Amino acid sequence: MKGKLFLLVLCLVPSLVSAQKFDNQDRERYRDALRLIAADVRKYYYDPKMQGFDFDGRVREADEKLKKSEGLAQSLNIIAWTLDGLNDSHTRFAPPGRVTRQDYGWRMAMIGARCYVTQVQPQSDAEAKGLRPGDEIVSINKVAPTRDTLFTLEYIYAVLSPQPGLRLQVRGPEGPVRELAVMARTRQRKKIIDLTGGNADDIHDLIWEAENADRMTRTICHDFKDDDLAVCKMSEFNLDGEHVREIVNRARKHSLFILDLRDNPGGYVETLGHLVSGFFDHEIKIADRVGRKPGMKPQIAKEHRDPFTGKMVVLIDSESASASELFARVMQLEKRTTVIGDRSAGAVMESRFYDHTLGAEAAIFVGASITDANLIMADGKSLERTGVIPDEVVLPTAADLAAGRDPVMARAAGILGVKKLTAEQAGKLFPFEWPKL
C-alpha cells in the first residue's frame, strides 16, 4: 500500500503546487542525488539482499521517471518512492531544505484503528474552517489515513511536498462527513543562507531555530508530593547522560513514577541506554543487533548504582516510535513496569544518516537515513511493523479529545493508587505548544 500511496501522490502533487522553472540541469542534479543515495543503500543497508526486494530494478525505474520529471516536488517524491520500496521505517530520503516553511495549523494521530484530529491551532485557517479536536479524518487529499499510510502521508506533506493547503474529509463525533479546504500558514525564508559569518542575521536565524527545536523537545516533569508521585513527559530520546540522570533522580525522590512516552519518535541509542540503566541495579540487554557484519555487539544498558526501585507506569501511543518502543518493551519483558495506552508505531530499527552536497557555489544538501541493523528483543522478536502491545489498552475518545481530557494519564495514576488525578486535571499537565515558524 505504501508504494501505491507514493504513486498516487506523484499524480496529485503537480496539481497542488504552483508551476516553477525546472530544466534538464535540475533533472540531472536529482538523478545524481538518486545515484549517490542508492550507492549508500547498497553499501550500508543492513540486509545486502534488500529483504528480497528488487532495489536495483526500483532505482532504474526511478531514474527513468526522473528523466521526465516536471518539477522539484515530483523529483523528490520519486527519490523517496525508491527507498520506500524497502518498507523499512528507518530508511528514508532527506530532501534539501525549502525556501518556505509551512504549518497546517492542526495535528492528527491514529487512536486505535481510526485517525483523529488531536490539536487545532487558535486563529488558524483550520479553526476558522471549523476543524475541531475529536474530528475523525476520513481522507487527506482523497487518501484515507490508516496505521499503514499515516506516517507516509505526514512525511509527504510535511517534508517532501509541503502544500499551500490540504483537502480534508472529516466526521464530527455525531455529525455527517464534511469537506474542508484548510490552508497552511507560511513563512518565506531566504533562498541562500550565508554560513561563512558574513551575514550575522543568517547565523542568528540558525541559532533561533535550534533554540526553538530544543524548547519543543524538552522533558517536562511534575511532582505530586502528597501522593509521592513524579510524572515526566519525555518528548524525544535526545538527552545526554547527565540529563537522563536528572529524570531518574527526580523519580527517586518518590515511590511512584509515570513516564509519558506518547508522541515520542525516539532518538539516540545512547539516551536509551542511559534511561534503561536508571531502573536496574544490574546489566540489561536491550536488543541484539543483526546486520551485514557478523557478530555485531548487542545494545546493553549498564547497571546503575542507585536506580529507581519504586512502582512505575509507562505511557505509549501510536506515535511512540523507535527508542521509546524499545524502552517500553524492555521494561515490559523485565516485568519492571506496567505499559498502558495504544499500540506503538512499530518503527524500530537502528540507522545512520548519510549526506551529500550537490553543486559548488550554491550547495544543495541531500541525504538519507539508512538502516544498518535490525533489533531483536529478548523474546527473539523484532518490533518492526508490529509495535508494543500495552499491558492495558486505554484510548481517549473523540469526546475526550474535544474536551482536552487525558484518561490515559488518569488511569496510570489510578494503577499506582493515586485516585485524585482526574482525566480533566491530567489533560492540563502538559499543554500542547505550537512551534514558531
Among the ranges given (60-64, 113-117, 183-187), the one the predictor scored with the smallest mean pLDDT? 183-187
181 phi and psi, to 5 degrees?
-110, 105
List the beta bridge partners of residue 230.
223, 257
Identify the DSSP state of 298: P
pLDDT computed for residue 15 by the predictor? 35
Can you tell me the distance from the alpha carbon of 357 to that of 421, in angstroms, rounded to the nearest whole number? 52
Q: Which of 213-217, 230-234, 264-268, 401-405 has the lowest mean pLDDT?
A: 213-217
Ranges of CATH 3.90.226.10 domains, the chain:
213-349+374-426
What digits encode the pLDDT tens for the residues 227-252?
Answer: 999 999 999 999 999 999 999 999 99
Closest alpha carbon to 332 in 381, 373, 299, 372 = 381
Q: Please count the helices (runs of H) and the strands (runs of E) in the chain.
A: 13, 18
Q: What is the pLDDT of residue 435?
A: 83
**In the prediction, which pLDDT does 21 show?**
75
What percent of the chain stands above pLDDT 90? 79
11 pLDDT tier (thresholds 50, 70, 90): very low
Grid cell for residue 348: 524500530
pLDDT at position 258, please? 98
Please write the tens of the pLDDT for every residue from 30-44: 999 999 999 999 999
Band of the pLDDT at 431, cuts 50, 70, 90?
Answer: very high
The residues near 335 (Cβ < 8 Å, ≥ 6 apart) are none
Say if CB 133 and CB 401 are below 8 A apart.
yes
Q: What number of CA atoms fall less than 13 Å from residue 260's CA on the CB side?
A: 24
pLDDT of residue 319: 97
How many residues are listed for the chain in this entry?
437
**The three three-digit cell numbers of residue 78, written as one number:** 520519486
What gap in Å lies between CA 156 and CA 105, rounded to an integer?
16
pLDDT of amino acid 358: 84
Predicted TM-score (pTM) of the model is 0.90
At 404 the pLDDT is 97
Q: 8-22, 125-139, 370-384: lowest mean pLDDT where?
A: 8-22
CB 101 within 8 A of CB 163: no
In this prediction, residue 266 carries a pLDDT of 97
Mean pLDDT, the chain, whole residue set: 90
**Per-residue model confidence (pLDDT) at position 213:** 67
Q: What pLDDT score does 216 carry?
A: 72
Predicted pLDDT of residue 129: 97
**CATH-assigned architecture of domain 100-188:** Roll (2.30)
Encode pLDDT of 409-430 as tens digits: 999 999 999 989 999 999 999 9
pLDDT digits (tens, 9 = 90+) for 315-364: 999 999 999 999 999 999 999 999 999 999 999 999 999 999 987 666 78
* pLDDT higher than 50, residue 13: no
Q: Which residues lie closer than 8 Å to 213 by C-beta, 6 or more apart?
A: none
Residues of the chain with CATH 2.30.42.10: 100-188
Distance between CA atoms of residues 227 and 415, nearest Å: 13
CATH number for domain 213-349+374-426, candidates 3.40.1190.10, 2.60.40.10, 3.90.226.10, 3.20.20.30: 3.90.226.10
Give dist(CA 290, CA 48) in Å, integer: 12
pLDDT of residue 22: 84
